[in-house]
Amino acid sequence: MSGTTDPQLQHTLKKRHLSMIAIAGVIGAGLFVGSGVAIRETGPGVLVAYALAGIVVILVMRMLGEMSTANPETGSFSAYADRAIGRWAGFSIGWLYAWFWIIVLGIEATAGAVIMNRWIPDVPQWSWALILMVLLTLTNIASVKSFGEFEFWFASIKVAAIVIFLVLGVLAICGALPGVEAPGLTNLTGHGGFFPNGAGAVFAAVLVVVFSFFGAEIATIAAGESANPVAAVRNAVRSVVWRILIFYIGSIAVVVTLLPWDDASVALSPYVAVMDSFGIPAAGNIMDVVVLTSVLSCLNSGLYTASRMIFSLSRRGDAPASLSKIGSSGVPRQAVLVSTVVGFLTVGLNYLYPDTVFLFLVNSSGAIALFVWLAISVSQLRMRRSLEAEGKDLSLKMWLFPYLTWCTIAAIIALCVGMLVLPETRSQMYVSMGLAVVVVGIGIYRQRTRGAVDETPDPSTSGEEVDALRP
């Protein structure tokens, strides 16, 4: 054995980096733009949908936090599924999760390119997508600290935008904003009432808004490269409650209180519509800046997350060994480059075949969030007893175990069934399930094959040793 040591992942992410990564994980372009669709379909009752979806995410993050504080790992829930459910489960959920974020790279790069092309039309849209992908790839390859620094500032802009929006919104609701008349409860109870489209529309909206919260788990993956991963995970999980309450439910409450839910401008871009009502000039351009920041943040964190999950899979023998190599800067460069190459391909497919191939790829990732949350819940259900038996310090415990764990599992299964029932989401569930079946099948085959190899005695072993190996 040589005296040299292999490069390791660098633990250079600071507390402020992890705090902002945790916050940024639940603030995406879906909140600023996609929430308009949910409001249009549900009315003011969309607040109930966000609250229900938020409760599921809070419970899932609590379970993940329990496992992560006991065993902080870069592979996070994939590594925990390995131990709690089986090697096939860790393999399957790890690859499905990496696939989700790789597809997101193509979606977000295209969204960012659309905004940039709107500002500078002389540069083709595909060129902007290429530029954005290259920029964020270089950031991720340089060092984990550069990733954290970029994410910190991206998240800071998003947080500042929402805080300003909330302050102005509360002032307007209270009648303290000059030139804006206090609306009272008119927009909440008028225009058909709080549930204008019936209570059933709330459940349908949950299926739309629940995916907006996906990304909160990134903090548990990034924590593996921080100086104090246990404290980082604990803080991220404990803060998820107020993040959801303030950033999502709070800002949506401002929208549906200040403006009629059936206003066309709300469906198009709710936050721009509210800012227009304040008389803020160039509200659309301001929101473009915020959305572009969200896109860049998602690109940055998506590339990081996909590469670290692939790195973890490689370390566990579930991906090519070369992908676990770490460069002198402490970054698994090959894992980053593999994620980027596939991301580039998805961008190209979006421009060449937007309504066929790329749509199929997007649908294939549509329900992965639910699969990941289900794996986290089942893993925690099975790991809790073993962690306690090992004497692990569970500084962060799941509430009312195992009852709330079972309730969460039931809720996630209900959401999966709901996706199959609703025509708007059925195709996504079918394609996602098809992909999951293939990946799980490969995982089970690999586990059985590996198990058979592991159980084969060494030819050089004596007959008595062979007998001793038999059960």
Angstrom CA distances, 97 to 3, 91, 148, 221, 409, stand at 37, 10, 21, 12, 19
Of 8-17, 25-34, 462-471, the range with the lowest mean pLDDT is 462-471
Report the pLDDT value the prediction gives residue 199, as an integer from 0 to 100.
84
Task: Give the predicted TM-score (pTM) of the model.
Answer: 0.90
Sequence-separated (6 or more) residues with CB below 8 Å from residue 209: 35, 38, 46, 49, 50, 53
Cα dihedral across residues 335, 336, 341, 343: positive or negative = positive
Q: For the chain, first and last CA: distance in Å?
A: 35
Sequence-separated (6 or more) residues with CB below 8 Å from residue 336: 137, 140, 141, 303, 307
321-366: per-residue pLDDT in tens?
A: 999 998 888 889 999 999 998 888 888 888 888 888 888 888 888 8
> Per the structure block, which two tokens stand in for 225?
């490269």
Q: Is 205 or 408 the better-scoring residue by pLDDT?
A: 408
Most confident by average pLDDT, 102-106, 218-222, 225-229, 426-430:
426-430
Total of domains in the chain = 1
Range of the domain at 347: 15-450
CATH of the domain at 407: 1.20.1740.10
Q: Is residue 460 part of a domain?
A: no
253-295: per-residue pLDDT in tens?
A: 999 999 999 998 888 889 999 999 888 888 888 888 988 998 8
77-99: per-residue pLDDT in tens?
A: 999 999 999 999 999 999 999 99
Contact (CB, 8 A) for 77 and 217: yes
> Per the structure block, which two tokens stand in for 464?
């008595």
Q: What is the mean pLDDT of the chain?
A: 86
